[in-house]
Chain A
Amino acid sequence: MKIKSNIATSENGFIFNPATGDSFSGNAMAAHLLIAMKSGKTGHEIKKDILDKYDVGADQLERDWEDWMIQLKEANLLETEG
C-alpha cells in the first residue's frame, strides 16, 4: 500500500491532503513511517528497519502495522488499489 503521491508530510508529523483539505498531526513515529513510505520503501523494508532499531516483537509490530494501515485508509491517504 502506498501513500498518495500528492500528500504533503513534514518531519514533525503534520500531514496535509491538498485534494480534500484534511490535515492530521502525527507523533514522531508517524512522521518516521510517513517519510519512509514516501521515499518508496516497501512495508516489508520499513518493518525490518523497525525490528532492527526498536525493541519490539514481530507479532506486535504486525498488529501495529495493520492498525496503522487502517488509520491511513480511513484518513483517505492511501492510493486506491486497482
Chain B
Amino acid sequence: MADKYANLCLAITGINANDNPGPGMAVIRSLKESFGAGLRIIGLSYEPLEPGIYLRDHVNKTYQIPYPTEGANALLERLTYIHQQEKLDLIIPNFDSELFNFIKIAPQLMQIGIASFLPSHQQLAVRDKVNLKDFGLKHGFYVPADHKLYTIDDIKKAADEFNFPMVIKGKFYEASVVYTMDQAIKAFHQLNAAWGVPVIAQQFIKGTEINIAALGDGKGNNTSIVAMRKLYITDKGKAWAGVTIKDEKFIELGNNFALATGWKGGYEMEIMSNEDGHLYILEINPRFPAWIYLTAAAGQNQPGALVKMALGDIVEPFDDYQAGKLFVRYSWDHVTDISDFQQFSVFGEL
C-alpha cells in the first residue's frame, strides 16, 4: 500500500531562521525525517528576507502572506489562492501572533480541503501572558506574580512589589531582565513600541531554565512530551544549545496542563525550576518551539505526529524518549542571487 503521507503538500509558517528563529525550518526538518523527501513543502512568509524562502532544498516554494493585522479575511483570500496553485493538504502555523486568524479561518480551510490541528480561541486565551497568573491560581500551577503595565506609574507599582531584578515582557514576544527603574522604563517603551500594551512585569524567579515541548490531542491528554534544559542562552533568552532531560515531574506538569485546558496542537512550556524544586511556568507558547527537531532526534517526532492527527489518524501516545540528546544551533551564510529576492519582493512568490 502506498504511503499516504509521502506526497503530502504541507504549508509552514515561521521560516525566519534568523538569530531568534521561528520554528518553521525545524518543523520542516522533522516532517521530512518522518515522511521522507517526497513531501512538498510550501513556505508562508511575511517578509522577503526570511531565510527559508531561499533554502530551496527544504522549501519547494514560498508565498508571501498578509500580516495578522490585515485580518482573517485577507489571510483566507491569500490561502485560497495558494491552495488553487498548490492543492495544500495541511497548514502548520508557527507564530503566536498569527494564530488567532488561523484558528478563526480553520473551518473554512477545512471546507476547501486544508487540514490543521489548532487550539481553540479559548485555549489560546487562557495561556496568554495577560491571563497566565489567573490560570495558574485556578488550576494550582506555580506561576510568577505579574503586573500589567500601561503607564510608567504601573512600573513603579510593580517595582514596589517585586523589587529588582524583575522581568519586563512584550505582549507577544521578547523579555528583558531589568535591574533598575531606568532599565525597566526603557524596556517598557521598547516593548510597547514593538507589541503594544499591556506590557507585562513579572516576578523574577531564580533557577534553572527548562523547556517542555508537547503535543496535546484536544481531549485532555498529551501525545508527546519532551523536556529540554537550556545549556547556552542568547541575549534574547533563546536556547542556542540544550539537552533533553527526563524526569517524571515534567511529564506530570505537561499532563496537568493538557488536562486543565484540553489543549489541541503543539505547545511549549517555559519553566524555571527554583532551588526548592518548584516548577514555575514562565510562559506557555501556543505552538512548537524552534528547537522542536530535538523531539524527533530524541524519539518523539512531534510535527510528524501532529500531521497524522490533523489528517484524522489515531496516534498512540509516545511513552519514552532519549535523555542526553544535545543540540547546538549554528548560523550559516546562505548565498543566492538578487533576482530571487526581486522575484519574491515584487510577486510575493518564489
A20 within 8 A of B: yes
Which of B5-13, B23-31, B243-251 is the contact stretch? Answer: B243-251
Number of inter-chain CB pairs below 8 Å: 22
Flag whether A57 is at the interface (Cβ < 8 A). no
CB distance from B329 to the nearest CB of A (A): 16
- Within B205-234, the residues touching A (CB, 8 Å) are 208, 210, 229, 231
A79 vs B231: C-alpha distance in the bound complex, in angstroms?
Answer: 24
- B208 and A18 contacting across the interface, CB-CB below 8 Å: no
Contacts of A18 in B (CB 8 A): 245-247, 323-324
Which residues, 59 to 83 on B, are CB-close (under 8 Å) to A?
none
Closest B-chain residue to A16, C-beta based?
A: B324
Number of interface residues of B (CB under 8 A): 10
How far does the Cβ of B226 sit from chain A's closest Cβ, in whole Å? 12
Are B324 and A20 in contact (CB-based, < 8 A)? no
Residues of A within 8 A of B210 (CB): 21
Taking a contact as CB atoms closer than 8 A, the residue among A8, A16, A19 that contacts B247 in the complex is A19
Could you list 15 A-B pairs, sorted by A, with CB under 8 Å? A6-B246, A8-B324, A18-B245, A18-B247, A19-B245, A19-B247, A19-B323, A20-B208, A20-B229, A20-B245, A20-B247, A21-B229, A21-B231, A21-B243, A21-B245
Q: Which residues of A contact B (CB under 8 A)?
A: 6, 8, 16, 18-21
Q: Which residues of B contact A (CB under 8 A)?
A: 208, 210, 229, 231, 243, 245-247, 323-324
